Amino acid sequence: MKLYSFFRSSASYRVRIALALKGLHYETISVPMRDNSHRSESYRKVNPQMRLPALALDDGNVLIQSLAIVEYLDEVYPEPRLLPADPIERAQVRAVAQIISCDIHPLNNTGTRGMLTSKFGADEKALNEWTAYWIHEGFNSIERLLQPGPYAFGDAITLADLCIVPQVYNAHRYNVPLDDYRKILAVDASARQHPAFAAAAPEAQPDAA
């Protein structure tokens, strides 16, 4: 397998965690977002959406969208399970994952921030206020949805944890204060002690700089 990734891409981070948890070997293909490599015609041939990540399977198929990739991996390589067997519990885990992947992340990614700057004249202060607002909006809900730990939904790592840890990383990157989110910070601290999360961390990637 080949993972088209960038070390700071939080969506790629989610998939790296899943691959590490399941003990799957893959080759990293770095697509540096800092120079807009993901917008190149060569990458468009890999992923028509020109976003990260993309996972090229050994049979030639290419999967896109981080949650779709993680759910594929969970179905094909079911251990350890990242989505609970119980339908209610599975929906609860997906809800937390989607608050991050659908509500927070799209409003704070590089494309959105670039548009706010180029089309609407947002300066760095405005961008940071925008970023913090949407992180707080999502985290205020997630903090109330988390269950007793050490992870987001108990003793087992789930898709929710794979989304929480990269989003906390992004919050720290943009200096968003997280003191009000005791449960989220506890989940992040517990998960980052796991070897798979450490292996998937941005600073551990071959293209980290």
Q: Which two tokens stand for residue 97?
A: 């994952």
Q: Where are the alpha helices (DSSP H) in the chain?
A: 10-21, 41-44, 66-76, 87-98, 105-108, 110-120, 124-145, 159-173, 182-192, 195-200
Q: 114 Cβ partners below 8 Å, 6+ apart?
A: none
Domain at 2-79, CATH homologous superfamily: Glutaredoxin (3.40.30.10)
Q: Where are the domains of the chain?
A: 2-79, 87-196
What pLDDT tens digit does each residue of the chain (209 aa) get? 999 999 999 999 999 999 999 999 999 999 988 777 788 898 999 999 999 999 999 999 999 999 999 999 999 999 999 999 999 999 999 999 999 999 999 999 888 998 999 999 999 999 999 999 999 999 999 999 999 999 999 999 999 999 999 999 999 999 999 999 999 999 999 999 999 999 999 999 999 96
pLDDT at position 37 is 79
pLDDT at position 69 is 98
- The phi and psi torsions of 2 (rounded to 5 degrees) equal -125, 130
The class of domain 87-196 in CATH terms is mainly alpha
CB atoms within 10 A of CB 205: 20
This prediction has a pTM of: 0.95
DSSP 28: E
